[in-house]
Amino acid sequence: MKKLLFFLKKYRKESILSPLLKMLEALTDLAVPLLVAMIVDDGVAAGDRAVVIRTGLLMVAAALAGLLLAVIAQYFAARASAGAAAQMRHDLFAKIQSLSFTELDRTGTATLITRMTSDVNQVQNGINMGLRLLLRSPFIVFGALIMALLIDVPSALVFALAIPLLGLVVFTIILSTMPLYRGVQHKLDAVLGRTRQNLSGVRVLRAFCKEEEESEQFILSNKDLMRAQKFVGAISAILNPATYLILNLAIVALVWRGAVRIDSGDLSQGQLIALYNYMLQILVELIKLANLIILLSRSGACMKRIGAVLDMRSSLMVKGNAVPEKAEGRVEFEHVSLRYSGAGADSLQNISLSCGAGEHFGIIGATGSGKTSLVQLIPRFYDCTEGCVRVDGVDVRDMDPTFLRGLVGYVPQKAVLFSGSVRENLLWGNPDATDEELWQALRAAQAEEVILNKPGGLDEPVEQDGRNFSGGQRQRLCIARALVGSPRILILDDSSSALDYATDAALRAALRSLPWHPTVFIVSQRISSLRGADRIIVLEEGLCAGQGTHDELLKDCEIYREIDQIQTEGGPVHAS
């Protein structure tokens, strides 16, 4: 509730005026049955046409006033709900951007997408309807009860009995459905997660003919969601018939009692019609209130899920704002170990290495040996669980992450391009880069020819994920994007795997000739890509199996020697 009030803080005026205007509209509704009673008793019964016309005009005026008040109130409610939802999405996006990879891994992409879309939409609908009806419906219910008491106390006792009984039914059903709606949202996360996984891996699915199997798994998840929705829907569906039953019985009792009192002369026909209309108003408003409470219960469950994300604290706490005396690109690992959240064992164990400014450092090892984990500690995507990582003599945990990542150019295993143009993608590396600097980066990344052959040049459109470029072209453009920022440390995490040997060799030569001489970390499965590195580390199951130059490792490291033999001579593969 506090978080919801925080998001509505900018819309105090709208949040106050909307329910206030709706209550004024409710007054016009409460006046209508009295006007109808006047027409029946003072106009029709007395044969006075003037009273009928005059009172009828008053009813039209009341209806027009109510319409105007309702339109203004709904405008304010829509403005407040849409504005609060926009702020929620903004804050959620900012929070997600601030989270470490650990929190993102733990929460999951599908859940975060659901909370930014479906959950926020549910909260927006809840705010909109709540501002419009949360005060108006109870106001009309109790206002109709008071008006009924003013007309005829004995007849109004039917209202006094029906309203508490209706409240008991409504709140019993609502309280039982609130936790069920939270479960429905979790099952929706599962369906969206499977959908996202299948869409992102559709090529692999088709390559292995797994479409039918995955379709069956999706159907099971979807049926699970459907069962949960049907169960909670069945409970919610009891609400309307139960309330209609109680209110219709109350109407029967009211008409029976009113007929007796009319016969005795204690009640007029117009007053009975007014009482009947007030009972109908109570019926309509209680149905609205019941549906509103169901909507608010769903919105409340969604708001808790949104709040859970907003309350997340990044495990990468900024401990200081230390800055190296000189940004040279020196990197040191001192007895570093890393264990991912929830993992049963360390991914890296007791790794120590030192890389001087301008050196090229190679990292090789079997799949799952910890190569990517090692380089992701440099820009502090994760924190090591033991030991420390230093950049230019400063512990990365003591540096501002923004400053640290400004020193590092990181090219991940999966080449990711964003929809827009080639120029827009390259400018991520440096928003102020000139066209000449962009072309220099493209030349160094061996991507100049790719862009020259495109009709749009730097303004060539890029589809989402770079679908209109080949795998090798995407990798080269990602490397160029990193080079545009002239980073002191360049990390190539197996980012040349789609390049042919000649292009890979030209790329490594170009990196050697860069004018600012960055420190380069190259993660690769190819020994040919690492042969010219100043030093190479060999990882096996998170441990350092060897460290040195290519020649030294061939002499002293059996694992490295086996890899070289396999790649150069086609020798036997030994399990590592």
Same domain, yes or no: 200 and 272? yes
Same domain, yes or no: 352 and 235? no
Percent of the chain with pLDDT over 90: 39
Spatial CA neighbour of 425 closest among 436, 414, 417:
417
Structural contact between residues 224 and 194, judged by C-beta atoms closer than 8 angstroms: no
Residue 105: helix, strand or coil by DSSP?
helix
Q: What is the pLDDT of residues 40-51, one digit of tens each?
A: 877 787 777 888
Higher pLDDT, 220 or 573: 220
Same domain, yes or no: 180 and 217? yes
* d(C-alpha 515, C-alpha 170), whole Å: 74
Q: Name the token pair of 153.
A: 């106390």
Average pLDDT value for the chain = 87
Domain count, the chain: 2
Alpha-carbon separation of residue 159 from 155, 163, 259, 261, 278 (angstroms): 8, 6, 16, 16, 9
- What is the identity of the amino acid at 257? R
The DSSP result for 358-424, as a single string, is: T-EEEEEESTTSSHHHHHHTTTTSS--SEEEEEETTEEGGGB-HHHHHHHEEEE-SS----SEEHHH
Q: Which of 310, 340, 364 is the last residue of a domain?
A: 310
Residue 379 inside a domain? The answer is: yes
**Within the chain, what is the greatest distance between any pair of CA atoms?**
118
Which pLDDT belongs to residue 160? 80
Residue 191 inside a domain? The answer is: yes
Range name among 291-295, 302-306, 344-348 with the lowest pLDDT average: 291-295
| Residue count of the chain | 576
pLDDT confidence bin for 407, thresholds 50/70/90:
very high
Structural contact between residues 130 and 300, judged by C-beta atoms closer than 8 angstroms: no
What are the residues whose beta carbons fall under 8 Å from the beta carbon of 172, sequence distance 6 or more? none
The DSSP result for 51-65, as a single string, is: HHHHHHHHHHHHHHH
Same domain, yes or no: 254 and 118? yes
Q: What is the pLDDT of residues 532-546, one digit of tens each?
A: 899 999 999 999 999
Q: What is the pLDDT of residues 468-525, one digit of tens each?
A: 898 899 999 999 999 998 999 999 998 888 888 899 899 999 999 999 999 999 999 8
Residue 324 inside a domain? The answer is: no
Residue 316 inside a domain? The answer is: no
What are the residues whose beta carbons fall under 8 Å from the beta carbon of 276, sequence distance 6 or more? 251, 254, 255, 258
Same domain, yes or no: 425 and 364? yes
Residue 125: helix, strand or coil by DSSP?
helix
**Can you say how many angstroms the Cα of residue 182 is from the centroid of all Cα atoms in its chain?**
16
Same domain, yes or no: 201 and 283? yes
Q: Which of 245, 280, 310 is the last residue of a domain?
A: 310
Residue 301: helix, strand or coil by DSSP?
helix
Domain that holds residue 234: 2-310
Q: What is the pLDDT of residues 87-111, one digit of tens each?
A: 999 999 988 888 888 888 788 777 8
Residue 353 inside a domain? The answer is: yes
Same domain, yes or no: 135 and 91? yes
Which pLDDT belongs to residue 1? 67
Residue 126: helix, strand or coil by DSSP?
helix
Structural contact between residues 292 and 52, judged by C-beta atoms closer than 8 angstroms: no
Same domain, yes or no: 226 and 340? no
Which pLDDT belongs to residue 267? 82
CB atoms within 10 A of CB 509: 12
Q: Name the token pair of 231.
A: 């169960």
* d(C-alpha 484, C-alpha 502), whole Å: 23
Angle at 474 between CA 468 and CA 475, to 5 degrees: 165
* d(C-alpha 439, C-alpha 350), whole Å: 42
Q: What is the C-alpha R_g of the chain? A: 35
CB atoms within 10 A of CB 546: 20
Q: Name the token pair of 294.
A: 């169901």
What mean pLDDT is predicted for residues 271-281? 85
Same domain, yes or no: 298 and 352? no
Spatial CA neighbour of 215 closest among 230, 231, 199, 226:
199
* d(C-alpha 283, C-alpha 559), whole Å: 80
Q: Is the dihedral of CA 487, 381, 318, 98 positive or negative?
A: positive
* d(C-alpha 432, C-alpha 445), whole Å: 19
Which pLDDT belongs to residue 574? 39
Same domain, yes or no: 448 and 556? yes
Structural contact between residues 290 and 168, judged by C-beta atoms closer than 8 angstroms: no
Range name among 138-152, 285-299, 340-354 with the lowest pLDDT average: 285-299
Q: What is the pLDDT of residues 308-346, one digit of tens each?
A: 888 888 777 777 788 888 888 999 999 999 998 877 788
- Say which CATH number the domain at 527 has: 3.40.50.300
Residue 249: helix, strand or coil by DSSP?
helix
DSSP annotation of 525? S
CB atoms within 10 A of CB 466: 21
| Secondary structure of 447-486 as H, E, C letters | CHHHHHCCCCHHHCEECHHHCCCCHHHHHHHHHHHHHHCC
Same domain, yes or no: 420 and 472? yes
Residue 576 inside a domain? The answer is: no
Which pLDDT belongs to residue 573? 41
Which pLDDT belongs to residue 16? 92
Per-residue burial over 184-199, b if 16 or more Cβ lie within 10 Å, else e, is bbebbbbbbbbeebbe
- Say which CATH number the domain at 133 has: 1.20.1560.10
Higher pLDDT, 431 or 160: 431
Same domain, yes or no: 250 and 111? yes
Structural contact between residues 559 and 391, judged by C-beta atoms closer than 8 angstroms: no
Q: Which of 281, 310, 339 is the last residue of a domain?
A: 310
**Can you say how many angstroms the Cα of residue 304 is from the centroid of all Cα atoms in its chain?**
13
What mean pLDDT is predicted for residues 60-86? 93
Structural contact between residues 447 and 479, judged by C-beta atoms closer than 8 angstroms: yes
CB atoms within 10 A of CB 500: 10
Residue 315 inside a domain? The answer is: no
Residue 322 inside a domain? The answer is: no
Range name among 268-272, 381-385, 480-484 with the lowest pLDDT average: 268-272
Q: What is the pLDDT of residues 220-264, one digit of tens each?
A: 888 888 988 888 888 878 877 887 888 788 888 888 888 888 878
Element at 546 (helix H, strand E): strand 543-548
DSSP annotation of 322? B
